Amino acid sequence: TTEIYTLSLHDALPIYIQEVQVNTLDSSARFGRPGTVIVVTKSGTNALHGQAYESLQDNSVVGVARQRQNTFTQAPFLINNLFGFGVGGPVYIPKIYNGKNRTFFFFDFSDYKLRQKTSISTSVPTAAQRAGDFSGLTDSSGRPITLYNPYTTGPAPNYQRTPFPNNQIPVSMQSPLSKSLYSIPPLPTDPNVNPAAGNNWIGGARTYQNRDAEMLRIDQTISDKDHLFARIQKATRLIASPSGTGAPLLNDTTNLTYNMYPDRLGVVSWTHTFSPTFFSEFLFSDSWQYFQFYTGTDANNDVDKILGLPNPFGGMGWPAISGTG
Alpha carbon separation from 222 to 140, 191, 256, 270, 279 (Å, rounded): 78, 76, 52, 10, 15
pLDDT averaged over every residue in the chain: 82
240: confidence class by pLDDT, cuts 50, 70, 90: confident
Q: Residue 247 carries which side chain, given as an amino acid letter?
A: A
d(CA 246, CA 320): 13
Question: Would you state the pLDDT for residue 58?
Answer: 81
pLDDT interval class at 7 (50, 70, 90):
very low
% of the chain with per-residue pLDDT over 90: 36
Higher pLDDT, 217 or 295: 217
Q: What is the pLDDT of residue 111?
A: 93
Residue 281 clears pLDDT 50, i.e. is over it? yes
pLDDT band at 75; cut points 50, 70, 90: low
pLDDT at 154: 92
pLDDT bin (cut points 50, 70, 90) of residue 11 is very low
Tell me the mean pLDDT in the region 256-274.
89
- CA–CA separation, 324 vs 121, rounded Å? 18
Q: Give Cα separations from 72 to 78, 97, 118, 167, 190 (angstroms).
A: 14, 63, 11, 36, 14
Rg (CA), the chain: 30
